[in-house]
């Protein structure tokens, strides 16, 4: 798994290095496929049972603001909630992703923080219209934390952040990096933080968390 994610980062280096290039449109079906594969409920229970370095974590990702007039037609918005399985009602991470066309044929997933207190939105993934009271202008962009996704064949997307611009102060970190491998039924996510000297201070050292879909698979268009 570590080799898969590391290969993802290496493959994207050339793409990320030119992220200021003119965006190249991706097809709507490809964008919708990424959103469909990201959406759903996932669990790392099987991985946690096999390896004690990994915790039993639940991950919920749901589309928001569908068909709203204040939302651009060429992007999709997702609400993300992540929690320890034993405390699923108390998420430790809540974010909003804006997924749309990126440079050089990539798909970019921009990251936003919720207004304070984010705990007031816990469990919103269960609602028929999550975060309906909010809009894009209510969110706070996490600069430097965008993940750029690239199709690898018909059944996989790989992605990574660019550089060290995603700030983090967790456990003394200075910045965070992320790598992602996405298929129809599995989302591998390797997030970790580093201090100013480049020492890893949080996140798994062996490789990515492997979140397996626990709801019916959505193959996308």
Checking if the pLDDT of 199 tops 50, the result is: yes
Report the residue count for the chain.
221
Domains and CATH numbers, the chain: 2-213 (2.40.128.590)
Average pLDDT over residues 93-115: 97
For residues 78 and 63, the answer to whether their CB atoms sit within 8 Å is yes
- The string of pLDDT tens digits covering residues 155-164 is 999 999 999 9
What are the residues whose beta carbons fall under 8 Å from the beta carbon of 129, sequence distance 6 or more? 64
pLDDT of residue 181: 98
Please, which residues bridge with residue 211 across strands?
187
Q: Which tens digit of pLDDT belongs to each residue from 2-52? A: 545 554 554 454 554 444 444 545 568 899 999 999 999 999 999 999 999
pLDDT, residue 27, reads 61
pLDDT reading at 221 higher than 50: no
Please report the pLDDT score of residue 25 as a whole number.
Answer: 54
Average pLDDT over residues 84-92: 96
Kindly indicate the confidence band of residue 54, based on its pLDDT and cuts at 50, 70 and 90: very high
Q: Which of 14-23, 73-82, 210-219 has the lowest mean pLDDT?
A: 14-23
pLDDT of residue 139: 98
- Got the DSSP string for 89-144? TS-SEEEEEEEEE-BTT-EEEEEEEPPSPGGGGTTGGGSSSTTTT--GGGSEE-TT
Q: How many Å apart are CA 158 and CA 182, to the nearest integer?
A: 6
Half-sphere exposure of 168 (CA within 13 A, CB side): 21
pLDDT given for residue 9 in this prediction: 53
Listed in sequence order, the residues at least 6 apart from 162 whose beta carbon sits closer than 8 Å to its beta carbon are 16, 17, 19, 144, 146, 148
Write down the pLDDT at residue 209: 98
């Amino acid at each position: 798994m570590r080799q898969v994610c590391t290969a993802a980062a290496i493959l994207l280096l050339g793409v990320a290095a030119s992220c200021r290039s003119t965006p190249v449109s991706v097809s709507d079906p490809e964008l919708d496929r990424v959103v469909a594969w990201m959406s759903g409920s996932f669990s790392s229970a099987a991985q946690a049972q096999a390896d004690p370095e990994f915790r039993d974590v639940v991950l919920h990702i749901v589309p928001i603001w569908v068909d709203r007039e204040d939302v651009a037609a060429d992007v999709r918005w997702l609400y993300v909630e992540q929690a320890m399985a034993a405390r699923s009602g108390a998420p430790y991470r809540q974010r909003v992703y804006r997924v749309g066309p990126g440079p050089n044929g990539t798909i970019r997933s921009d990251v936003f923080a919720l207004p304070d207190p984010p705990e007031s939105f816990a469990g919103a993934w269960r609602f028929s219209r999550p975060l309906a009271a909010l809009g894009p202008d209510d969110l706070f962009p996490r600069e430097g934390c965008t993940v750029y996704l690239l199709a690898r064949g018909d059944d996989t997307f790989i992605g990574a952040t660019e550089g060290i611009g995603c700030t983090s102060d967790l456990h003394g970190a200075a910045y965070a990096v992320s790598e992602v491998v996405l298929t129809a039924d599995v989302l591998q996510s390797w997030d970790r933080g580093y201090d100013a000297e480049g020492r890893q201070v949080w996140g798994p050292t062996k490789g990515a968390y492997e979140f397996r879909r626990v709801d019916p698979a959505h193959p996308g268009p």
